[in-house]
Structure 1
Amino acid sequence: MMNKLTSVVCLGSALVLSACGAPEPEDGVELAQQSQGVITPVSGSSQGCDFTLSGTQLTTSPPSYSVTLTRTGGTSCAYPAGESVEIGYSYSVEPRLSIAGNSLGLAVSFTKKGTYSGSSPRYLAIKHIDPATLSVVRDADLRADYPYGQITSGGITILSDGTTLRAAGQFTGTLGGRGGSYYYANYADFFTSTTAPTYSTF
């Protein structure tokens, strides 16, 4: 269930969804939600605890958004339910949320724009979160190449090896010197190292 929730935010066409390993949204629900400006919360688990990543629109003109992570409980969770932390903001661009976790840790991502400036690029914020404290262990943001690259969509999943975090979605410009429209970015040993990602684009 968690993989379905975390993968669906890869967004876009069936090609991207297929690349992310997720099923296509039923009856166009995801596209309908996007067009209505709904920030769809996502849920995941790590170390016996359940978490929800959600977004809130703070202002409308120009728009700004906050992203919040909440520990919601879990049958074997050793930490209090209901604790929340604001983990980021986006300006002008509505964030698309993703979450992935296992026994090693918790990862969250959201698409964002760092300022209102027209020259401020869109990118994918990726964070390693401590399930106990909800603090950020590592920022591993995915950015396309300066100055024209943009990460326009993305979501995260943990691969079957249990240690590699994959981000997948769409981009413009170049990413790691590579052209294309869609990307994979694989973070080896994401929860136990700071190894830079390797890219595949197509």
Structure 2
Amino acid sequence: MKTIKLLSTVLAVAIVAVATAVEKPKMSVTPLSADRAVITIQNENASLFELSIHAEDGELVYYKQTTKPLSSYQKIYDFKNLENGNYTMDLRINDTRLLKDFEVASKGISVGESKLRIDPYFAFTDGVLKLSYLNFDQESLSLNIYDEDGLVYKTSLGKDFNVASGYDLSALKEGKYEVILSSLNNDFSYSLVK
């Protein structure tokens, strides 16, 4: 029972540490005309970032990665070459993602609300794998652990918003392992050596 309480306390501290260390970027998309918009990005700290735009079918239609850390960025984008349809703008700064859906139509560009997403936190110490994840979309999650020969462990984590788990891996043989946290739309991986 003491082990369960200790593990719960450790995971709660890890969740608080992750939540306070997360980047808090802001992104606005302001239509200027039927096919042009200003994209403005601001972040508290100067950071490298990636900005991509995906079509509804997942096709990448635009990608930009900064070469030096920035705390602000602004550019006018011309969407006239995009077909009418729904798109998602994806801003990634460190472990934080900001998603914004928008529609390109003959009547102009319409922009949806921003959605914040944070990558899961993994740690492996003293034979224990710790995982915490804020499941904003409340998707069904599964955890798979692979060694060089294939799958060694699989479990379903459910659809809870706050996922915090610990796994005693002390019984596994020494070697390299790949941990995959999966949902319908995302896969996150973590490598560890035991």
What TM-score results when the alignment is normalised by the length of structure 2?
0.29
What TM-score results when the alignment is normalised by the length of structure 1?
0.28
| Larger strand proportion of the pair | 2
